[in-house]
Amino acid sequence: MSSSMESSYLPATTESIAMAQEAKDASKSISILYRVIQDPSSSADALRTKELAITNLTNYLTEESRAEELRNLLTQLRPFFSLIPKAKTAKIVRGIIDAVSKIPGTSDLQISLCKEMVEWTRAEKRTFLRQRVEARLAALLLENQEYTEALTLLTGLIKEVRRLDDKLLLVDIDLLESKLHFSLRNLPKAKASLTAARTAANAIYVPPAQQGTIDMQSGILHAEEKDYKTAYSYFFEAFEAFNALDDPRAIFSLKYMLLCKIMVNQADDVAGIISSKASLKYVGPDVDAMKAVADAYSKRSLKYFETALRDFKAQLEEDPIVHRHLSSLYDTLLEQNLCRLIEPYSRVEIGHVAQMIELAVDDVEKKLSQMILDKKFAGTLDQGAGCLIIFEDQKTEAIFPATLETISNVGKVVDSLYMRSAKIMA
């Protein structure tokens, strides 16, 4: 901020706020609001007006995508924070951090800003605010895939918050920990953290958005365990909560609902869900991607499946949850198709199989070798001739297992008789 701006402050009055709102452009409004904040007056009315000026200034800077100025604003406001109640300070700080998060490409700036605020709150002994900023920092580190640092931060924070019994914050932190363990592929710990979040949530009123987040995480964990029917019900609950709030996460809940339907072999239901009243407003690339996958699965066509993956790469491949389940679905579909195609043959060229299934020869050869090793069928690959040789299944005579069982039972009887005779002789 320039020295001229500092010296020519404007009085913190409603007239000054109105002047900023009536300014011709955002830059002029920002300049006026900066001058209002510089008013040295500390009367109750002036402080209230400055709070309004800070809120308006934050909005203008966000609209103009001036992330660095928002960061500097937090530093400049520190003397002002000593004049107002701690609860209002917390509201302003969290509001500015939220504003920075709305500006694209600022994740690194948000992390450094949160770290600065954690240091300041620790020095000022503002525990309530520090814990919330640390929780926000852990969420940002998780998004940036800095798992070790996020886990270290959360471990200490959970112990501290449990001691204070701040249930609402505890729900947030337990949920974060669940997401973190899920990202680290530690499913038992992810479930334990989610259970802790649910336990804390049952003791208090949880806002609908927070309840939706809990349901979403529950659905993700159940889907990971292949319990797609239960996962679908959780995703549906999350979708209803987010849809009522116009939360952008509603589209992801809907997407995962459709995924669950496909995974339980009910791909025909996808069109009905998409055409429902609640889902129609979310029609777009994400929904189209799941519809393309459902169509491919209904037709048992790997070609259509690969086309869907290629056309909707951002919606399918780049979403880790969808990608993980679709990889499993693709493998299952590929194995089913290959088994159906090679069934009539005792010897067949790999190139012919690849041509029938419309995939690259190398991919088909690799998959066939994997299926042989997994004992999905009996056979071998003759790579010199480029052929697959399928062996006939060796049918085991039913009498053999029965005979072995009989011999085993006779052995048990003999052992039992021996033990009894030994007791009599003794």
Residues 247-301: tens digit of each pLDDT: 999 999 999 999 999 998 888 888 899 998 888 889 899 999 999 999 988 887 8
Categorise residue 159: left if φ over 0, alpha if ψ from -120 to 50, beta otherwise.
alpha
Token pair for 123: 């020095």
pLDDT in tens, 291-308: 999 998 888 788 888 889
Q: Which residue do the tokens 């920075």 mark? A: 100
Question: CA–CA separation, 183 vs 186, rounded Å?
Answer: 8
pLDDT confidence of 426, banded at 50, 70, 90? low
* pLDDT given at position 7: 45
Q: Minimal CA–CA distance to 98: which of 128, 147, 139?
A: 139
Q: What is the rounded average pLDDT of the residues 172-179?
A: 94
Which residues are 390's β-sheet partners? 379
**257: closest CA among 298, 301, 222, 210?**
222
Average pLDDT on 92-118 reads 92
pLDDT of residue 268: 87
Question: Residue 253's pLDDT is what?
Answer: 94
Which residue's structure tokens are 């690959």? 381
Where does 8-43 have alpha helices with state H? 14-22, 26-37
Say what percent of the chain tops pLDDT 70. 97
CB 423 within 8 A of CB 380: no
CB 263 within 8 A of CB 302: no
Q: Are strands 347-349 and 387-390 parallel, antiparallel or unpaired?
A: antiparallel
Structure tokens at 246: 């116009």
Mean pLDDT score of the chain:
88
How much of the chain, in percent, has pLDDT values that exceed 90? 49
Residue 395 has a pLDDT of 65
CA distance linking residue 77 with residue 85, whole number of Å: 14
Q: How far apart are CA 397 and CA 410, in angstroms?
A: 21
- Say what the pLDDT of residue 4 is: 35
CA distance 395 to 246: 60
CATH number of 346-393: 1.10.10.10
Question: Greatest CA separation found in the chain?
Answer: 115
C-alpha 36 chain-centroid distance: 42
Local confidence band at 397 (pLDDT 50, 70, 90 cut-offs): low
| Structural tokens at position 15 | 């007239």
Mean pLDDT calculated for residue range 200-221: 93
In order of 62, 65, 192, 250, 333, the CA distances from 102 in angstroms are 7, 9, 32, 18, 41
Residue 184's SS3 state is coil
Q: Quote the pLDDT of residue 11.
A: 87
Res 1 pLDDT > 70: no
Give residue limits of the domains in the chain.
Answer: 8-104, 346-393, 395-425
Token pair of 173 as six digits: 């932190």
**Is residue 61 very low, low, confident or very high in pLDDT (cuts 50, 70, 90)?**
very high
- Per-residue pLDDT averaged across 36-50, rounded? 89
Task: Give residue 5's pLDDT.
Answer: 40
List the one residue out of 323, 350, 325 whose CA is nearest residue 338: 350
What is this structure's pTM?
0.77
Taking 60 as the threshold, does the pLDDT of residue 353 lie above it? Answer: yes
Mean pLDDT along residues 68-85: 91
Phi, psi of 301 (to 5 degrees): -105, 115
307 contacts: CB under 8 Å, gap ≥ 6: 292, 296
